[in-house]
Amino acid sequence: DAGVIQSPRHEVTEMGQEVTLRCKPISGHDYLFWYRQTMMRGLELLIYFNNNVPIDDSGMPEDRFSAKMPNASFSTLKIQPSEPRDSAVYFCASSLRAVYNEQFFGPGTRLTVL
């Protein structure tokens, strides 16, 4: 298996622009997580899905953030409009309930908002 795939790996945009981050989880995994990592706040859980259904989005910082999972093999995290404080590394992870909750992480998307 190719592991969790994220695109793009790097994104540089200007304040006010819409940003869409993409994730392909490991095939067969039933949980998908979006995290944000910054120096100040460390690793934060933004939202997670179970069987494509959003379960807990309490970590989403503002209404500017939204996430979807239209099918078992694809998820997006959208920021509209983007702000400089959104600059961070965004990770997607997936897991299979039956395997002791282990999460497999993608390589991350480094977002810079100018």
Partner 1 sequence: AQSVTQLGSHVSVSEGALVLLRCNYSSSVPPYLFWYVQYPNQGLQLLLKYTTGATLVKGINGFEAEFKKSETSFHLTKPSAHMSDAAEYFCAVSELPSDMRFGAGTRLTVKP
Name the site residues for partner 1 (rule: CB under 8 A): 4, 31, 42-43, 45, 48, 50, 55-56, 91, 93, 95, 97, 100-108, 110
Closer to partner 1 by Cβ: residue 48 or 65: 48
Closer to partner 1 by Cβ: residue 81 or 107: 107
CA distances from 80 to 2, 74, 86, 103 (A): 30, 19, 11, 28
Q: What is the number of H-type helices and E-type strands within the chain?
A: 0, 11
CB 46 within 8 A of CB 59: yes
In a 3-state reduction of DSSP, which class is residue 86? helix
Closer to partner 1 by Cβ: residue 13 or 50: 50
* Tokens 């460390």 belong to residue: 42
* Nearest approach, Cβ of residue 25 and partner 1 (Å): 13
* Nearest approach, Cβ of residue 81 and partner 1 (Å): 27
* Nearest approach, Cβ of residue 93 and partner 1 (Å): 8
